[in-house]
Structure formats: structure tokens, C-alpha cells
Amino acid sequence: MGYKYEREESSATTKLTYLLIGGGIGATLALLFAPKSGQELRGDIADVTRKGIEKGKETAALVGEKAGDYYEVSREKAGELYQTAQDKAGELKGKAGDLTEKAKEAVSSSKNPFSAAIEAGKEAYQGEKRRTESKSITEGRPNYPVKSIKDKTLETPGDTKKEE
């Protein structure tokens, strides 16, 4: 499927190229067979050529300026991304080293490897609990209904009404 698309695209490009070449040849022949004297025709051809060269130089200068601008912007962005990636990699490397040290300490300090795993699980649970609690404090707590066993009623935190 992709091959067919590429073939159609190259075919269209080829056709366009041939069209432009044919147009150029036709325009040249029309000038050569026009009822002008040779000197006038040569002057016209020289003028058109000069104008084409000037236009080409102007276009090349503009393209060069834009390319330079794009290069500078791209270089700056690439530098920023590279620095950010280096910073993140350094952070991750440090965290991985800390976790490795904690795991080594937990394994070497305990006689039973299961107690080390349990201890690591507790630490992870407590850390997640602290993170969740601090998140709920900063973002606000959700109002989930809590069922009271004594009264057999539904209460929401902050709500003092009782429903039967």
C-alpha cells in the first residue's frame, strides 16, 4: 500500500517536471521564432536572464536567513531538551542508588528475608499513605458516605444530618 503511494507521488513529480521542461522549451522556441530582429531578441533574452538571476539571488538570501533562524531556534530547543534529560537522568540515578542502598541494608540487617520484604512493604505503604493524605489536604477531601454501625445511618464527613 505504501509502495503504491510512493510510486504515484514520484509519477506526479515526474509529470510536473516534464511539464515545466516542456513549457520552458516552448517559450524559448516562441521567442526564437518571433518576428523580432536578432539584436532585439538577444537583448530580451539577456534581460529575462538577468531578472531571473536577480530573483534567484533574492530568494536564496531569504531562504538562507530563514534557515539560519530555524537553525538557531532548533539548536536552542535541542540544548534545553538535552539539559532537561540530563537533569532527569541524574535524579533517577540518585533515587535508584538510594533505593538500592535501602534494599541492601534491609536484606543485610534482617535475619529473615521475608521480614525485609514486609518492612519494605510497610515503608512503601506509609509513604503512599502520606502522599495521599497530603494530596487530599491540598486538593480537598472527597465526600464519600460512611455507614455508621451504631445508628445504621449514612453520614458524609462534615454532614451532621442522619437519614433513616
Domain that holds residue 91: 40-110
Model pTM score: 0.33
Count of residues making up the chain: 164
Q: Does a structural domain hold residue 104?
A: yes
Work out the burial of residue 81: count CB atoms within 10 Å of its CB; fewer than 13 is exposed, 13-18 middle, 19 or more buried.
Answer: exposed
pLDDT digits (tens, 9 = 90+) for 29-42: 887 777 777 788 78
Q: Does 103 map to a domain?
A: yes
DSSP result, 12-78: HHHHHHHHHHHHHHHHHHHHHTSSS-HHHHHHHHHHHHHHHHHHHHHHHHHHHHHHHHHHHHHHHHH
CB–CB of 45/32 below 8 Å?
no
Answer whether residue 55 is part of any domain.
yes
In the predicted model, what is the mean pLDDT of the chain? 77
**Each residue's pLDDT tens digit, 127-150:** 888 777 766 666 655 555 555 555
Residue 77 lies in a domain: yes
pLDDT higher at 78 or 110? 78
**pLDDT at residue 20, as a whole number:** 93
Tell me, yes or no, whether 56 lies in a domain: yes
Confidence of residue 101 (pLDDT cuts 50, 70, 90): confident
Q: Is residue 52 part of a domain?
A: yes
The number of distinct structural domains making up the chain is 1
Q: How many CB atoms lie within 10 A of CB 149?
A: 6
29 falls within a domain:
no
43-54 pLDDT, tens digit each = 888 898 999 899
**Within a domain: 32:** no
pLDDT of residue 29: 83
- Contact assessment for residue 162 and residue 151, using Cβ atoms and an 8 Å cutoff: yes
